[in-house]
Amino acid sequence: MSLAEPEISTQQEASAVAVETPLRRFLSDYFESPIATAALAVLFLLVCLAVLAPVISPQNPYDLAEVDVLDSRLPPGSEGMTGYTFWLGTDGAGRDLLSAMLYGLRISLAVGVMSGLIATVLGSLVGLTAAYVGGRVETLIMRIVDMQLSFPAILIALMLIAVLGKGVDKIVIALVTVQWAYYARTVRGTAIIERRKEYVEAARCLGLTHTRILLKHILPNCLPPLIVVATVQAAHAIALEATLSFLGVGLPQTEPSLGLLISNGFEYMLSGKYWISFFPGLLLLATILAINLVGDRLRDVLNPRLTR
Amino acid sequence: MTAFILRRLMQSVIVVVAMSVVVFLGVHVIGNPVYLLINPQADQQEIEATIRALGLDRPIWEQYLYFVRGALIGDLGKSFVFGEPALRVILQRMPATLELAFAALFMAIVIGIPLGLYAGLKPESPFSKIIMAGSILGFSLPTFWVGLMLIMVFAVMLGWLPSTGRGAAATFFGITSSLFTLDGLTHVLLPALNLALLKISLVIRLARAGTRETIHQDYIKFARAKGLSQRRIVGVHLLKNILIPIVTVLGIEFGNLVAFSVVTETIFAWPGMGRLLISSIQTLDRPVIVAYLIIIVLMFVVINLIVDILYSVLDPRVRIGERTQ
């Protein structure tokens, strides 16, 4: 270190003391990367599109009164029977592809987020319990986690669907089962380090209950790695649901997610009608890519070992 | 070394037993075993007769032992669809799946390692940045969609490669495979590339990270000081050391390739066991589903075992670490 540096840093600190909260530091770190900023913006846009799908989509693709079968398989940009222009073309049933995609995105995100939330809660609780209780319980839980993680997610999901059958609830169960182990492992890994710290000892001395110590003291300190895993897993869950739906063992035709739209376009692919599969796939790719890029950045920003 | 292998072997047996219990309970407790073992078209009398014949009225632990005995002698019931033993139906389709997985693995190595090495040796070059951006994209691309796009471009638009099925097979040194004929190779190219895409991205990352870490090590500097050629340093000293993590990961990923071939086989109509699984789920051909699950679990356990042993041979620290624990 040179002699001039301490002076500068004290000056910086003086001006930073007022503004620099952990959240602000985190935000400014995050937005340093233009790609990550763009990815977050895209993700925000996609979520808005999904939430507002019934309001903004040009057509309700599942209202039979609005769909005309005579409009089926029109290429992008062509005009339909009612004089309406289908910018991304229509699918096999004459639905406006753009509208169907917005609705599909809504379903894909909903299934991904819902299974992600359930898995986060379940996995975190199991991981916390393992770390806090220790001993045989911990060994047993972690063995189960290790065993499950030695099998690929798609295989576990297929196993469950083979046993349980098809349906929305079954898909959510499969996605939760596939994901919980990652959360459990992550939370347990952080929690065994946190458990030995002084603030936990202090909380114990105060006579706080185990539940309180776990949820209010240890869990908040496990959040940074948990957030990173949750982001990456959200992308995995969405991709997995799309894959299962594409294979015809995922969501039913009444819940047309992006994967199902792509699957429906498959039969028209060989006759050169590419758009029915192409555009939903592109939207799926954009969603997964945006989440992955945000996750990558979060990992860099939240990892204390990488702090510059 | 022997002690290490024995211990690992014991762990594998425990995993197999645990998985057999899980599959058994999954089928017999969550689902109704009657539907699993009896043809859905059977009438009430037939069902009751079969329940007695199969011992489904006995206590659950007795049923489990019955299930295990059947599994051990390879009797997993008859396929409803094919009318043949479920195990035979699966085993008939296994070579096609393994062939596809090996082709994909080969592609991942041949494409991934050179690109990763390049990106690691010249991290600042524009081509390296393109490689790394491509690998991030590779992680995000949904496999099944890429498969469709490959068919779209190479089979429909350009008409260069066939989009469905497996090509003619030839027998060579007692192994029958479509990889030995030109027709077979053209058929396997698209599905294998589709399956390999994720693994190529993975190998690129591993090779690049390994290269960047290893290149600054003392023994590389020493090799340079000895006046060895760059080719020898990279090809022998560097490659040997970055291969350790790559071998492990690829070993584990081989099982993954077999599992993911479910998707690729469905898209390219490849006659393997993954496609069979999907059609069995759709037709509720449960004996075949159970047989597939048992085979794939065994396959995973064996692969993990081999990888661990290989790893301990390549990196002695693993063995020592186990011993001191």
Give the model confidence (pLDDT) of A112-137 as tens digits.
Answer: 889 989 999 999 999 988 888 888 88
The reported pLDDT for the residue numbered A118 is 93
Check A246 against B144: CB less than 8 A apart: yes
Of A158, A269, A281, the CB nearest to B262: A158
- What are the structural domain ranges in chain A? 24-53+94-302
Check A162 against B293: CB less than 8 A apart: yes
The reported pLDDT for the residue numbered A9 is 47
Point out the residues of chain B with pLDDT beneath 70: 1, 27-40, 53-57, 167-182, 314-325
The reported pLDDT for the residue numbered A5 is 46
d(CA A148, CA A151): 6
Contact A97, A109 (CB under 8 A): no
The reported pLDDT for the residue numbered A176 is 92
Check A270 against B151: CB less than 8 A apart: yes
Q: Which residue has the higher pLDDT, A158 or B28?
A: A158
Check A152 against B281: CB less than 8 A apart: no
Q: Is the CB of residue B92 less than 8 Å away from at least one CB of chain A?
A: no
* Residues 6 or more apart whose Cβ sits within 8 Å of residue A215: A128
Assign A205 to helix, strand or coil.
Answer: helix
Give the model confidence (pLDDT) of A249-284 as tens digits.
Answer: 878 877 788 888 888 878 777 776 777 788 888 888
Query: Could you say which residues from 276 to 315 on chain B have a Cβ atom under 8 Å away from some Cβ of chain A?
Result: 277-278, 280-282, 286, 289, 293, 296-297, 300, 304
Distance from CA of A23 to the nearest CA of B (A): 28
Assign B170 to helix, strand or coil.
Answer: strand
Q: Which residues of B touch A288 (CB under 8 A)?
A: 140, 142
Give the model confidence (pLDDT) of A233-249 as tens digits.
Answer: 888 899 898 888 888 88
Q: Which residues of A touch B252 (CB under 8 A)?
A: 150
* Other beta carbons less than 10 A from residue B242's beta carbon: 24
Beta strands in chain B (DSSP E): 170-172, 175-177
Contact A68, A94 (CB under 8 A): yes
Query: Could you say which residues from 99 to 158 on chain B have a Cβ atom under 8 Å away from some Cβ of chain A?
Result: 136-137, 139-145, 148-149, 151-152, 155-157
The reported pLDDT for the residue numbered B31 is 56
The reported pLDDT for the residue numbered A302 is 78
Place of tokens 């739906």: A245
CATH topology of domain A24-53+94-302: MetI-like fold (1.10.3720)
* Residues 6 or more apart whose Cβ sits within 8 Å of residue B282: A248, A249
Residue B68 structure tokens: 């295990």
Stretch A207-224: mean pLDDT, rounded? 84
Residue B67 structure tokens: 């299930």
d(CA B259, CA A16): 53
Q: Which of A217, A219, A218, A239 is nearest to A227 (CA)?
A: A219
Contact B178, B169 (CB under 8 A): yes
For the ranges A2-16, A206-220, B300-314, the lowest mean pLDDT is seen at A2-16
Burial class (CB in 10 A: 0-12, 13-18, 19+), B99: buried
* Other beta carbons less than 10 A from residue B157's beta carbon: 11
The reported pLDDT for the residue numbered A122 is 92
d(CA B71, CA B65): 10
Distance of CA A296 to the CA centre of its chain: 13
Count how many Cα atoms sit within 13 Å of the Cα of residue B96 in the half-sphere of its side chain: 27
The reported pLDDT for the residue numbered A2 is 44
Of A150, A274, A285, the CB nearest to B152: A274
- Per the document, the length of chain B is 325
Q: What is the rounded average pLDDT for all residues in chain A?
A: 79
d(CA A88, CA A82): 16
Q: Which residues of B touch A151 (CB under 8 A)?
A: 255, 259, 297, 300
Of B30, B141, B252, the CB nearest to A164: B30
Check B148 against A262: CB less than 8 A apart: yes
Contact B79, B86 (CB under 8 A): yes
Across chain A, which distance is largest between two alpha carbons, in Å?
Answer: 79
ipTM: 0.76
The reported pLDDT for the residue numbered B269 is 83
* Other beta carbons less than 10 A from residue A5's beta carbon: 9
Q: Which residue has the higher pLDDT, A35 or A63?
A: A35
One DSSP character per residue, B89-105 reads HHHHHHHHHHHHHHHHH
Q: Residue B78: beta bridge partners?
A: B85
Check B151 against A269: CB less than 8 A apart: yes
- The sign one gets for the Cα dihedral B41, B45, B50, B55 is positive
Give the model confidence (pLDDT) of B167-178 as tens digits.
Answer: 666 666 666 666
Give the long-range contacts of residues A45-51, CB within 8 A, separation 24 or more.
A46/A105, A46/A109, A46/A283, A46/A286, A46/A287, A46/A290, A47/A109, A49/A102, A49/A105, A50/A102, A50/A105, A50/A106, A50/A109, A50/A110, A51/A106
Check B26 against A159: CB less than 8 A apart: yes
The reported pLDDT for the residue numbered A248 is 82
Confidence of residue A8 (pLDDT cuts 50, 70, 90): very low
* Residues 6 or more apart whose Cβ sits within 8 Å of residue B81: B279, B280, B283, B285, B288
Residue B139 structure tokens: 């992680």
The reported pLDDT for the residue numbered A119 is 92
Confidence of residue A73 (pLDDT cuts 50, 70, 90): low
